[in-house]
Amino acid sequence: MTTNKEQYKVHQEPYYQAQGREVQLYEAAYRNRLPVMVKGPTGCGKSRFVEYMAWKLNKPLITVACNEDMTASDLVGRYLLEANGTRWLDGPLTTAARIGAICYLDEVVEARQDTTVVIHPLTDHRRTLPLDKKGELIEAHPDFQLVISYNPGYQSLMKDLKQSTKQRFAAFDFDYPDAALETTILARETGLDETTAGRLVKIGGVARNLKGHGLDEGISTRLLVYAATLMKDGVDAGDACRMALVRPITDDADIRETLDHAIDATFA
C-alpha cells in the first residue's frame, strides 16, 4: 500500500520564535541529513521547533511519543493476524524511512534502551533499517531524517541515553526564553496584552528559581500559555495562575504558598 506523504505534512505555519541561530543550524543539519538531538526542559518549545522546521522545509513529519512500554516492534512494525492469514504493518519509524519523512522521537529516553538500539543503523553512514522479522533491509529515503528529544535535567541515571546513542547525533540545547522574548511569545500565542503577559513571565521566573529547592521542574512556557489563554477568556488572574501554573507542578504546601504569594503580589 502506498503511503500518502501529504497526510504527514504540516500545512499551517506553527508559531515559533527563534532564540538564536537554531533555525539556520537545523537547516544545515538537514541539508547533510545529520540526525539531530534536541535537549531541554519540559515545555520549552522543543516539539514546536521540530514541527516548525518540518513546515519550513516542507517535509512530512511523523512524531512518536515514547514511553516505557514501547517495544522495538512499535517503532519498526509487526505482523498482524487476519482472517486470510498475516499482514505486515509498518511502524512509524519504518514509514518515515520509506517515504522520506522527518521522524521525531519525543522524550526518547522514556523508551527502553533495547528499543532505542534499533535506530542506530539509521544514524550513521549506513542509513538502513533492518526488519528482522520480515527479512527486509530498508535503505532510508534520501529525504529521511531522525530527530530525538529529551530532558537531561529530569532523567535519572537509569533513564539517560547511552554514549553509543548520543554520539550519533548533532545536538541543540534549548532553554526557556529570556523574559522579553517569552512575553512576546505569550502575547503572540494568546492575544493577551504584553503588560499582563510580562507579569505571568515574572511568576514563571520565581518558580524557575525554586528548581532544585523544592521543585523538580519550573513553570514551563507551555503552562504560561495555558494561564494566558484562561485570562484572555476572562478568568480571574489569580484563579488562572493557580489552576495553570501552581497546581500542576507541585503538591507541596510550602511551595504552593510561596507561589500563591507571588501571584497575589504580582496581580494585586
Residue ranges in the chain modelled with pLDDT below 50: 157
Give whole-number Cα distances, 26 to 139, 153, 190, in Å.
23, 23, 27
Please say whether the structural domain 5-173 has been given the CATH code 3.30.70.1150: no
Give the model's pLDDT for residue 264: 95
Grid cell at residue 209: 528559581
Domain residue ranges of the chain, discontinuous segments joined by +: 5-173, 179-266
What amino acid occupies position 152? P
- What sign does the CA torsion over 131, 137, 141, 146 have? positive
Which pTM value belongs to this model? Answer: 0.91
Give the model's pLDDT for residue 35: 98
Give the model's pLDDT for residue 212: 81
